[in-house]
Structure 1
Amino acid sequence: MLRRLLTLLVMLALLLGGAALWWLHRPLDLAAPTVEYSVGPGSTPRSIAQGWVQAGVQTSPTLLYEWFRWSGQARRIRAGSYEIRPGVTPRELLTKMVQGDETLVTLRLIEGWNFRQVRAELARAEGLQPLSAKMSDAELMAALDLPGRHPEGQFFPDTYAYSRGSSDLDVLRRAHRAMQRNLEQAWATRDETLPLKSPAEALILASIVEKETGQEGDRARVAGVFVNRLRLGMPLQTDPTVIYGLGAGFDGNLRKRDLQAEDNPYNTYLRRGLPPTPISIPGKASLRAAVQPERTKALYFVSRGDGSSVFSETLAEHNRAVNQYQRGR
């Protein structure tokens, strides 16, 4: 009798083992073509199993949990955002989480954007926690451990990958570190004769260069014109700074009265020197141009209308270029 019982138990164990192996290697049924789930820091194996089932994995949460536990790898599951598709087995699901094979989302910050545009992009970003949404600019900078720092120009334009559930502040911290790193590298290669006293001034100049031209070949010469003007004490007279000073109220049409009557720290027609802060986020090319400007005698430039510029050494030459390319005379 005992022998028969033992035989039955062995057979039952073999059947259960076979069923378990079959289940482990059988693709999971999913409620949708893709199922996404974010494992939070400190999540328990049981809550992870339940989370996957609630997200759309059509199996028993108990089976998933017991597999995680029996495998001996339950405590090695990494926090992150994961995505699975049809064909994934329970074994592959666990391996994915243990290896931290996350599904990442990307956000791109564009050269020449101002901080309003950066914040708008963060607000639109997929799967990003909007922790800064209700913060003022000052509160946001304080949350980044940058109290009192003006936010303009502080975040490097690049593509940033993140896992769903990350916060917008995390992305901004990375973008700020990237800007500091690129600015320091550029400043270390600067022309020592520049009339720029600090990396902060180089960043301001680079932000103006970024807004003045999209032509790679013109950046260093545009920077050279502004450096010449700074050396001579001439006003920079650059429209992008005036537009920045007008703020969200700018309607797309820069008028003569805006240049001559709208006196604010960013009106470089009425005030000499650099404006008090950057006006955009410059990329590497503009940072490099600001610290290694072309040696030129030009004091003026005007857009041809195709993205390139005409440079002039005298006001008479400049006026002729303006008539040709801006006024069609």
Structure 2
Amino acid sequence: MTEYGRGQGSEPWHPDDPLYGDDGWGGQQAEQGRQSPYGGQPQHYPQQPQAQQYGDWGTAEQNGYGGQQYPQYDQQYAPQHQQQPYDTGGWNTGGHPQDPYAAVPQDPYGQQGGTYGGQHSDYYGTPEAYPPPEPPSRRRAEPEPVTDWDPGPDQGEHAFFAGGGDDDDDGYDDEPGDRRRRGGRGGKEKKRRSGCACLVVALVFGGGIAGVGYFGYQFYQDRFGSAPDFAGDGNGQQVTVTIPEGATGAVIGQELKKAGVVKSVDAFTAAQAGNPQGKSIQHGVYTLEKEMSAASAVELMLSPKSRNNLIIAEGWRNTQIYKAIDARLGVKAGTTAKAAKEDWEKLGLPDWATGHENVKDPLEGFLFPSSYGVSKGQKPEDVLKRMVAQATDVYEKLDVEAKAESLGLKDPWQLVTVASLVQAEGTSHDDFRKMAEVIYNRLKPGNTETNGMLEFDSTYNYVRNQSKIDLTLEELRNYDNPYNTYYYKGLPPGPIGNPGEDAIKGALDPTDDGWYYFISLDGKTSKFTKTNAEHQKLVDKFNASRNN
């Protein structure tokens, strides 16, 4: 049978062959007990067919064993007596000791005639593949040991990661049969360097993983996690928080967080959005507790218990407002009234609101009804200035300055005065518009119903600083004061109270139904008539109800 990678036989040895005429320390010399190759003449081997080669073995240098040769392998391939043919029936060939390497199949990429018909030379099957060693006299110096030899992937991980291999403390290779010194002090120094490098890498990797984990957690918390929040209704420590006008939920949350009431703005805005009444939280001063849950803070701010604002009601006169400010600031009675009388010109009144004669209080009509955050420690003039600014803003928004003339008035000051009368006598927006028409109709020159007289009880009560219902015509028509519209024609010198926005709108948009008279029978609703006769019937009805 033709062997894989072989022809009909090997060529005989040739004088040019490195083994021709030289001695070796294995093969036939070992079997025949011939003279040592180190002391006698070179021996010549008889020409005979080359031994069959099985396996894929090269030289020690080719196989990476550091230049050392292995006699047990050389002897197998040294020129000997004719070996037995390849026995396909088993691993043992010709009675020789079983060689586990002998039965390895031939290289299919060998000489001509191989399985794949390649043209490559088979250097493993020639004598050049296994030259005998040089005699001691002709040997070259052994090369320096290779200290950085990599044991290969089958020897485990590199020492950089596994802590072994090239940098073992014993300085020797782990391969049996190769006991060369591998590292010495240099190896230990490399081990220390490798250990430091490994520590640095571990720290970098650990720091990177920790950073990624932290920012990943923050990202998750920002996107999907619940906002930080306190638990419970507070720690018992009260704090006053002022919420500015027009504040959004985020602004309110910032003020609460700054005061230590809530833990985060997001928690508050979420609680506000989750409460059906949350959007109704108004500006002003609130008394809350520190470290409250956001939900508890929202609930308390919606309760009147938390409101610490000064509430100015529509129609309040300045005398009432001054007393309320004194009480809130905890100052002596009359302090705010004195500041108003002395500093009214510094409080920001518009130009059209100054220079009027016979005005009882220049600030009347400009302490706008609203909710104000007022607490101890503030100055009265600062509180008054905020109220004047609020009134000025509303008047500008409603454009009273431009619309006054179209209503038959001299200036916006008179329009504010009309609005104060509407606020004092009416009870609803519908009342306000009809009441405004009554005023404008009575002010018309030449009207035959009132002959230019307003005759409003509210003007008399204002100048008398009272609020009476049972007033006689005798006292009304005999009291000489510019504000008494029973005594003087036309409007009073100025506003008689502080109208709200709804009353101002009524004064700007009166009805046109011909109303001249009005009366309230129950103090809640008004009845309007166009003639004095109709009006007198309602008056008689009202008096009869009072007598009963």
Aligned identity (percent) is: 29
RMSD: 3.5
Which residue in 2 is equivalent to 1:123?
A: 326
Matched, 1:324 2:541: yes
Q: CA deviation at 1:306?
A: 3.9
Q: CA deviation at 1:263?
A: 1.2
Paired letter, 1:256: L
Could you tell me how far apart the structure 1 residues matched to 2:421 and 2:366 are?
A: 14
Within the candidate set 499, 518, 521, 1:304 is matched to 521
Q: CA deviation at 1:206?
A: 0.4
Could you tell me how far apart the structure 2 residues matched to 1:306 and 1:87 are?
A: 45
Q: CA deviation at 1:166?
A: 2.8
Q: Is the 8 A contact 1:304 1:326 kept in 2?
A: no
Matched, 1:169 2:381: yes
- Structure 1 residues 104-113 or 207-216, which shifts more? 104-113
Which residue in 2 is equivalent to 1:154?
A: 366
Please, what TM-score do these two structures have when normalized by structure 1? 0.64
Q: Is the 8 A contact 2:340 2:381 kept in 1?
A: no
Could you tell me how far apart the structure 1 residues matched to 2:443 and 2:480 are?
A: 20
Three-state SS of the structure 1 residue aligned to 2:373 is strand
Q: What are the superposed Cα offsets for residues 206-243 of structure 1, whole Å, 9 maximum, x if unpaired?
A: 00110101222211001101100111352111000011
Count residues with an aligned counterpart. Answer: 243
Q: Is the 8 A contact 1:220 1:294 kept in 2?
A: yes
- Structure 1 residues 135-144 or 104-113, which shifts more? 135-144
Q: Is the 8 A contact 1:206 1:289 kept in 2?
A: yes
Which residue in 2 is equivalent to 1:54?
A: none
> What stretches of structure 1 of length at least 5 have no aligned partner?
1-26, 39-79, 89-102
Distance of aligned partners of 1:134 and 1:183 in 2 relative to their CA distance in 1, 3 Å threshold: closer
Could you tell me how far apart the structure 1 residues matched to 2:362 and 2:511 are?
A: 29
Task: Please show how residues 281-296 of structure 1 align to structure 2 within 5 Å.
Answer: 281-296=498-513
Could you tell me how far apart the structure 2 residues matched to 1:36 and 1:129 are?
A: 25
Q: CA deviation at 1:254?
A: 2.8
Which residue in 1 is equivalent to 2:6?
A: none
Could you tell me how far apart the structure 1 residues matched to 2:485 and 2:465 are?
A: 15
Could you tell me how far apart the structure 2 residues matched to 1:127 and 1:104 are?
A: 17
Could you tell me how far apart the structure 1 residues matched to 2:426 and 2:371 are?
A: 21
Which residue in 2 is equivalent to 1:141?
A: 344
- Structure 1 residues 127-136 or 200-209, which shifts more? 127-136
Three-state SS of the structure 1 residue aligned to 2:484 is coil
Could you tell me how far apart the structure 2 residues matched to 1:318 and 1:252 are?
A: 17
Q: What are the superposed Cα offsets for residues 173-201 of structure 1, whole Å, 9 maximum, x if unpaired?
A: 11111111212233167376412121110
> What stretches of structure 2 of length at least 5 have no aligned partner?
1-229, 242-284, 294-305, 356-360, 446-450
Question: Which structure has the larger Rg over C-alpha atoms?
Answer: 2
Q: Is the 8 A contact 1:190 1:292 kept in 2?
A: no
Q: CA deviation at 1:153?
A: 1.1
Three-state SS of the structure 2 residue aligned to 1:264 is coil
Which residue in 2 is equivalent to 1:208?
A: 421
Within the candidate set 491, 496, 501, 1:274 is matched to 491
Could you tell me how far apart the structure 2 residues matched to 1:325 and 1:82 are?
A: 46
Task: Please show how residues 8-47 of structure 1 align to structure 2 within 5 Å.
Answer: 33-34=236-237, 36=239
- Structure 1 residues 179-188 or 265-274, which shifts more? 179-188
Which residue in 2 is equivalent to 1:260?
A: 477
Matched, 1:179 2:391: yes
Distance of aligned partners of 1:166 and 1:128 in 2 relative to their CA distance in 1, 3 Å threshold: farther
Three-state SS of the structure 1 residue aligned to 2:499 is coil
Which residue in 2 is equivalent to 1:64?
A: none
Q: CA deviation at 1:142?
A: 4.0
